[in-house]
Structure formats: structure tokens, C-alpha cells
Structure 1
Amino acid sequence: MSNLTGYWRITWMEEWDQDFVDLIQSGHFQFDEDGLGFFMFGAVEGQLDYRLSDDGRRVDFSWSGNDDGNIKSGRGWFELTASGTAKGRFFIHCGDESAVELEFQK
């Protein structure tokens, strides 16, 4: 999982501008080696439970957390590239969804 684990900066979201994405701190996803992780953008944050595909090119995840203090959950996925970027979708259960682009930072 070394090509996934680490800090991924959110560089673009379809539904929210970058000022919102970076509202509290730089919007990001953190994937740890144990299949867990964390994300934060705007006032949305959550814990991740993810699975990497056998070929290492796609990650699917579920999440639970909050949006401005309100309990939320959802799911999403990313397609990974060899150049250290990823594109996918982020879903809030019974709520918003957005295309997302990431860049690997460390």
C-alpha cells in the first residue's frame, strides 16, 4: 500500500471552491497502512475505512465523521495515477456529492 499511504492534498472539488476546501486547514486525505485514515475539508472531517484494489489503482472507502458539528457518514473512491495524483468522487450519505482531485504530498 506504499503508493497510497500518506498525505494527499485536495487540489480541486467540483462542488466547493478552494477557499472553502481550505477553510480550517489545507483540505486533505490521510491514508494509513492499516486500512484506516482521516480526511478534512471545509467544516467536514471524518475517519476513513478503505480498501485498495488488487492492482493498486483504485481505493474505495467509507467514512464517518461530522459536517460543522452534525454527525455524517458517506463513501467515495479514487483512481490513482503513477504521477502521484488521484481523481474520484466523495459522497455524503443522503446529501452532497462531488468530484475530487488529489495530489500526493508525503
Structure 2
Amino acid sequence: MTTPIGRWRITWMETWDQDFVDLIEPGHFRFDDNGLGYFIFGAVEGQLDYRLSEGGKRIDFSWSGNDEGDEKSGRGWFKLSSLRTAKGCFFIHCGDESAVEMELQT
């Protein structure tokens, strides 16, 4: 079984350029071993609630947090391409969406 646990650096987003992704700090997702996690990119940050499927190769999540201080929520998914890379989509409820690529940090 593959595990997503750890900090994943956002390396590309379709909707936002890397300067925006790294606006406050390097954009990333963190998946903890209890099905929860955290993310930040640009001025968007939030808490994650995730589930694994496909033998641990797919991560489906919901999130709640804020965008420039405004309360936001959404959902998304990632598919592990390898032990160290993942691709997926991130959705803001009634708002933007973006394809995302990320890499596990050591």
C-alpha cells in the first residue's frame, strides 16, 4: 500500500502561477496519519479531511479554510503517480478550480 503521509510541495497549478502559489510560504499539502491535514498556497489555506482509495493510490478530500480572510470550503483529489509525485484537482466551492501537481518532500 502506498501512503500519502507527509508534506507535498506544489510544483505546478494550472490556474495560478508559481509566484502566487508561493506568495506567503512555499505552497504545499500535508497529509497526517489520522485522515486529516493542512494546505496553503497563495492566500488560500485550510484544513483537510481525506480518504484513501485504490489501494492508497488515490486521495479524496474536503477542506475548509479561508481565501484572503474570507471563509471558503471545497474538495479535491490526488492520484499518486509514483511514490514521490501526485497529480489531481483542487476545487473552491462555487469558485475557482485548478489542476495540481506536487512532489513529496523529504
TM-score scaled by length of structure 1: 0.96
TM-score scaled by length of structure 2: 0.96
Cα deviation for residue 83 of structure 1 reads: 4.0
- Give the Cα–Cα distance (whole angstroms) in 1 for the partners of residues 61 and 17 of structure 2: 23
Count of residues in correspondence between the two structures: 106
- Give the Cα–Cα distance (whole angstroms) in 2 for the partners of residues 58 and 39 of structure 1: 17
Any idea what the Cα deviations from partners look like across 1:11-37, whole Å, max 9, x if unmatched? 000000000000000000000000000
Identity across aligned pairs (percent)?
73
Matches within 5 A, 1:27-106: 27-106=27-106
Q: Does 1:23 align with 2:23?
A: yes
Cα deviation for residue 2 of structure 1 reads: 6.5
- Give the Cα–Cα distance (whole angstroms) in 2 for the partners of residues 23 and 54 of structure 1: 33
RMSD, aligned CA: 1.2
Moved more, 35-44 or 79-88: 79-88
Gaps of 5+ in 1: none
- Give the Cα–Cα distance (whole angstroms) in 2 for the partners of residues 81 and 104 of structure 1: 11
Gaps of 5+ in 2: none
